[in-house]
Amino acid sequence: MNNSIKILLIEDNPGDIRLIRELLSESQRSSVDITVSERLSDGRSALVNQEFDVVLLDLTLPDSQGIETLRKVYPDAPHAAVVVLTGLDDEETALTSLREGAQDYLVKDRMDPDALWRTIRYSLERKQAEQALVQSERKLKAKTADLEDANAALRALLKRMDADKAELEEKLIHNIKELVDPFIEKLKKSRLTEQQKGYVQIITSNLEEIVSPFVRHLSANYIKLTPTEIQVANFVKQGKTTKDIAAQLNLSARTIEVNRNNIRKKLGITNQKINLRTYLLSLR
């Protein structure tokens, strides 16, 4: 400790003030700058206007008595090491002082230069360690909060990306199966030259190449559905009833039931007690 230690002594007894000054002078361990306040109110004003390293606090003052004195001064000295002084060898008061934030406790009748200086030095070291710990905890909490925010944002982004990807995959496969495949099938059944059949085969092969990266994310059986079955499956996923679907597709309810059964069969859930809509919604 090369710099002068700023000490605020809050004490109203002239004899004790003189004693503490003499003890600090005799120790000759470090330069000290002592400010004396004889009332708690004056001491608190000094703490507001100046910065101190150590507060030596008597618990018996004209305007404050007992442990309440410490409770009043402690909030005004957040960065200072508070050492409680008392003329009573009261262990309960000592323990209460420490619980209330004091760094140490001294009985005035038992003070000597070494004991006083040792208490001041250790109190300063403990206070510095305490402040370093508090600062570290604040930094850790701030970093933790930033990390949690970043993780939450990342999770939301990944969730949105997965949803967008799944929607794109489903729409791509659905559109090819419903809007393209039916016409390819019609072409295959028409009177085509060998060259035209070759073109149709190339188109079919290229379409399979396009959808293959997406198909692996869906049920392998889902791609085997016919265009009508895909339409029925989509209506089922939307919560439509057989009657509603029949009206939408201009088909009989019996035909819709057949398609529903075929869908369950191709998805491998014919003999399972599982709701078709629930199963279709799970396909991602």
Q: Tens digits of per-residue pLDDT, 77-98?
A: 888 999 998 876 677 888 888 8
Query: Is 80 exceeded by the pLDDT of residue 40?
Result: yes
Query: Is 50 exceeded by the pLDDT of residue 160?
Result: yes
Query: Is 90 exceeded by the pLDDT of residue 149?
Result: no
pLDDT at 68: 92
Domains of the chain: 5-137 (3.40.50.2300), 219-284 (1.10.10.10)
**Is the pTM higher than 0.85?**
no
pLDDT at 217: 47
Q: What percent of the chain has pLDDT over 70?
A: 92
Higher pLDDT: 242 or 229? It is 242
Model confidence at 1, pLDDT cuts 50, 70, 90, reads very low
Query: Is 60 exceeded by the pLDDT of residue 48?
Result: yes
Q: Phi and psi dihedrals of 220, rounded to 5? A: -60, -30
pLDDT at 233: 84
pLDDT at 7: 93
